[in-house]
Amino acid sequence: MAAASDRPGEFELIARHFAPIAGAGGLGLVDDAGLLRPARGYEIVVTTDALVAGVHFFPDDPPASIARKALAVNLSDLAAKGARPDGFVLTLALPQGWTESWLADFAAGLSRIAGEGGCPLIGGDTVSTPGPLTLSITAFGSVPAGRMVPRSGAKPGDLVLVSGTIGDGALGLKAHGPARPAWVAQLGAAERDFLADRYLHPQPRLALAEALQRHASAAMDVSDGLIGDLAKLLKASGVGADIELDAVPLSPAARAAVMADPALAELAWTGGDDYEILCTMPEREYSALMAGAGEISVPLTQIGRITAEAGVVHYREKGRVREFAHGSFSHF
């Protein structure tokens, strides 16, 4: 534990750890606000997420991993809207006992994901708190006017697709956490490490943004569980869906976990923390979207089709109807 007298003050802290990673819009982090200049004919997309120690990550997780997740989940939202990242602001509430070495590692991790995502820091606030470590990021992106991909655009007959693989984050939480279930021991070390990494280090699908913008009718990222997030998209669009659960893509590591404990299939479908893209599109756009995804090596898998029955979802597994009491993670 560092003594308070050994730590930099707020302005020195900002100058030392955050000003070096700020973009031009941050104005050196010496002003009361940042500045964004959207290109002519573009609109601004805004998203925000808060993360709390003990809720969204373990308090002893590596600080660089915490920083990566905090920004990555926002970049995932921008990707689902078809937006290009432009910048972000950070609110950081540091608990008692924080150290400068922790903060340096946090800033380094934040710098890496900001660079990867092309999303520079442009401002924020740093405070102390008697409670747990809490951070909130608001990210800004831009899209050509009228081209943002909403949740509410799905139409009957549209195809339902997901990117990447589903369930790795929820299973990774179990594999990474201190109270590991018995099935974790049945996995190989590489499988455990893969799942834990997917939980710790989300990979926002920014490369898909332009293809979604061109071809998708509706989209959102899978953060709270595929089943629950699909329900949100369907409600926003006023439609239903037929979903083939056997088509939901699983990684080899997730398949190994489900083989060790078949009940984990439901956790994979409902657990969340995937940060993949769930999208719909008219069938005529399918080939073009798949070609675009192929060019950037992002796999997309069709898992169903939109129907006209508002709010009604038919899930099938091995030819049988499947129902879910709880479709996703909920804070409340």
Residue-wise pLDDT for 243-285, tens only, equals 999 999 999 999 999 999 999 999 999 999 999 999 999 999 9
Can you tell me whether residue 89 is helix, strand or coil? strand
- Enumerate the H helices of the chain as residue ranges: 10-13, 63-80, 100-117, 168-176, 189-200, 209-215, 226-237, 252-260, 264-270, 286-295
Q: 212 with 219: CB under 8 angstroms?
A: yes
Residue 58 is labelled as binding a ligand: no
Environment class of residue 244 by beta-carbon count within 10 Å: exposed (0-12), middle (13-18) or buried (19+)?
middle
Residue 125 is labelled as binding a ligand: yes
* End-to-end Cα, the chain, rounded Å: 33
Element (H, E) at 126: strand 121-129
Residue 242 is labelled as binding a ligand: no
C-alpha count within 13 angstroms, C-beta hemisphere, residue 202: 33
CATH 3.30.1330.10, the chain: domain bounds: 4-144
Query: In the structure encoding, which two tokens stand for residue 318, read together?
Result: 């091995």
Residue 176 is labelled as binding a ligand: no
Query: In the structure encoding, which two tokens stand for residue 175, read together?
Result: 């594999």
Q: Give me the residues paired with residue 302 across strands.
A: 161
Residue 77 is labelled as binding a ligand: yes
CATH 3.90.650.10, the chain: domain bounds: 159-321
The model's pLDDT over 188-206, given as tens digits with 9 standing for 90+, comes to 999 999 999 999 999 999 9
Residues in the chain where the model's pLDDT stays below 50:
1-2, 331-332
pTM of the model as a whole:
0.92
Q: With respect to CATH, is domain 159-321 assigned 3.90.650.10?
A: yes
Q: DSSP letters of 24-43?
A: GGGGGG-SSS----PPTTEE
Residue 49 is labelled as binding a ligand: yes
State the pairing for strand pair 300-307/240-244.
Answer: antiparallel
Q: What is the pLDDT of residue 10?
A: 73
Residue with tokens 């037929």: 242
Q: Into which CATH architecture does domain 4-144 fall?
A: 2-Layer Sandwich (3.30)
Q: What is the pLDDT of residue 263?
A: 94
Residue 47 is labelled as binding a ligand: yes
Residue with tokens 């308070």: 4
Q: What are phi and psi of 282, to 5 degrees?
A: -60, 145
Residue 221 is labelled as binding a ligand: yes
Residue 223 is labelled as binding a ligand: yes
Q: No. of H helices and E strands in the chain?
A: 10, 11
Q: What is the pLDDT of residue 13?
A: 75
Can you tell me whether residue 70 is helix, strand or coil? helix
Residue 138 is labelled as binding a ligand: no
